[in-house]
Amino acid sequence: MRKVLIGTGIAVLFAATLLLGGCRGAYVGSSMSHRYHDPDCMWAKELPRDRQVWFATIDEAVAADYEPCSTCTPDVVTE
């Protein structure tokens, strides 16, 4: 019974994290490297939360002196 309760707690925490993470911006930058990423980028996923800087637009990232990541190339529009 106790195990079930812990499992439910983790699931709720995980859902809350996803929910909060889903509305923070379109691009995520690293306050360490001063590069910004597509949130799906492998490097973005490695970013610790306290190093994440979120931008709504590329202009915003550039204005903050951030450069595009060379792996996910967030500045290249692919449609």
Beta carbon of residue 35, minimum distance to Zn ion (angstroms, whole number): 7
Question: What mask, x for binding Zn ion by CB under 5 A, covers residues 11 to 50?
Answer: --------------------------x---x-x-------
Full DSSP string of 20-57: HHTTS-SEEEETTT-EEE-TTSHHHHHS-GGGEEEESS
Residue whose entry in the numeric block shows the structure tokens 């800087």? 53
69 binds Zn ion (CB under 5 A): yes
Q: Which stretch binds Zn ion (CB under 5 A): 5-13, 15-23, 26-34, 61-69?
A: 61-69
Q: How far apart are CA 62 and CA 58, in angstroms?
A: 6
Q: Which is nearer to Zn ion, 53 or 69 (CB)?
A: 69
